Structure 1
Amino acid sequence: MVVHKKKYISGDLLKFKSDPLVIKAINLLMCHGKRSKAEKILFQTFQALDKDYPGQSFRIFYSAVMASKQDIAVRLKPNPKKRRRKQSYNVYLPRLITPMCGLSLGIRSLIKASRERSQSSFSPLWESLSQELFQASQNKGGVVAERYRVNKLAISNKRRVHFATRR
């Protein structure tokens, strides 16, 4: 008879599974329907954060997501079809985002930055995700800088905000 050893996850990580923000992160981390792999990556990230900063992994996750959450988005205004003179510059239209969409964009930017970091440094995804989460929780790193850059671009183009209304 073969006995399989089962990996037990501590009780703290099991209660994280019921948190809506963790579920959202798992869904955004998931590729090709591989939910168990996404859960494993996220829980290894929590364990790595817990090893370095005992008892603070969930707080670091929440503060990182809130620091990378976006409130304003910027899109390019489409060029007119036929005009005699063309605009030589891009027109950016700022628009407000719903809070849930802002959280999704923040988590997506964290995951994208961690994937780029893991590909460039040949480290596992969970390790680079834990580093990105820690940097974002301290309001540092590329994700937070990108958020501030988008906000600055939206503020500089706020006089054009009346173009962005939908009818």
Structure 2
Amino acid sequence: MVSSYNQEKPIKFLGIKSDPLIKKMINLLMRNGKRSKAENVLNKALQSLDNDYPGRALHIFYLGILSVKQDIGVRLKPKAKTRRNKQSFNIYLPRIISPICGLNLGIRSLLKVSREQSITSPLWKNLSKELLKASQNKGEVVDKRYSLNKLAISNKRRIHFGVRY
């Protein structure tokens, strides 16, 4: 009988739990108060990045998070209640997002894309792929961010920017 203790145990990223960005990622990844499951998913994602790119997992993580961070948001202008002013098109109002809120939106969009693709493979594998793509300024999340920025720039004449907290 072969003992399972002879196999190498994977390296855990234990010292990074005190990092505020890692804490934020775990909190947004957590569902129904299952913190240990969220930590395991993030740990496996970082381990798979570390297997492919030794010693660069945290660097890829930070580059990916900072590349999906949103700076500008867009909201629809509410339509007028009078019947005379019937507009058949939507008016988009750009707004500047505070850095913390933009970071949250970026992480949430990254997790949303990873969860949508997790039907075929595990969430940690999709999360590591999305982080790698985002660190290279590629992928679905970065494309959404650039299209949103383009929409905001095309409508910038409609409003003076104000910071939203």
Structure 1 length normalisation: TM-score? 0.88
Where does 1:14-53 land on structure 2 (aligned, <5 Å)?
14-53=14-53
- The answer (yes or no) to whether the contact 1:93–1:164 under 8 Å persists in 2 is no
1:132 partnered with 2:98: no
* Shift in CA distance, 145/39, structure 1 to aligned 2, threshold 3 Å: same
* Shift in CA distance, 68/163, structure 1 to aligned 2, threshold 3 Å: closer
CA distance in 2, matches of 1:47, 1:15: 14
- Quick one: which amino acid aligns to residue 64 of structure 1? G
Q: Displacement of 1:83 after TM fit?
A: 2.7
Residue equivalent to 1:93: 93
- Quick one: which amino acid aligns to residue 123 of structure 1? S
Matched residue of 2:100: which SS?
helix
- Quick one: which amino acid aligns to residue 131 of structure 1? K
CA distance in 1, matches of 2:22, 2:45: 12
Q: Displacement of 1:160 after TM fit?
A: 0.9
1:83 partnered with 2:83: yes
Residue equivalent to 1:152: 150
Matched residue of 1:95: which SS?
strand
Give 5+ residue unaligned stretches, structure 2: none
* Shift in CA distance, 40/163, structure 1 to aligned 2, threshold 3 Å: closer
Count matched residues. Answer: 158
- The answer (yes or no) to whether the contact 2:71–2:102 under 8 Å persists in 1 is yes
Q: Displacement of 1:9 after TM fit?
A: 6.6
* Shift in CA distance, 146/165, structure 1 to aligned 2, threshold 3 Å: closer
Structure 2 length normalisation: TM-score? 0.90
Instruction: Note the aligned Cα RMSD (angstroms).
Output: 2.0
User: Structure 1, residues 28-81: CA drift from partner, whole Å, max 9, x if none?
Assistant: 011111111111100010001001111111000000001100000000011112
Residue equivalent to 1:161: 159
Where does 1:40-79 land on structure 2 (aligned, <5 Å)?
40-79=40-79
Matched residue of 1:96: which SS?
strand
CA distance in 2, matches of 1:109, 1:165: 21
- The answer (yes or no) to whether the contact 2:44–2:124 under 8 Å persists in 1 is yes
- The answer (yes or no) to whether the contact 1:94–1:164 under 8 Å persists in 2 is no
In percent, how many aligned pairs have the same letter? Answer: 62
* Shift in CA distance, 159/165, structure 1 to aligned 2, threshold 3 Å: farther
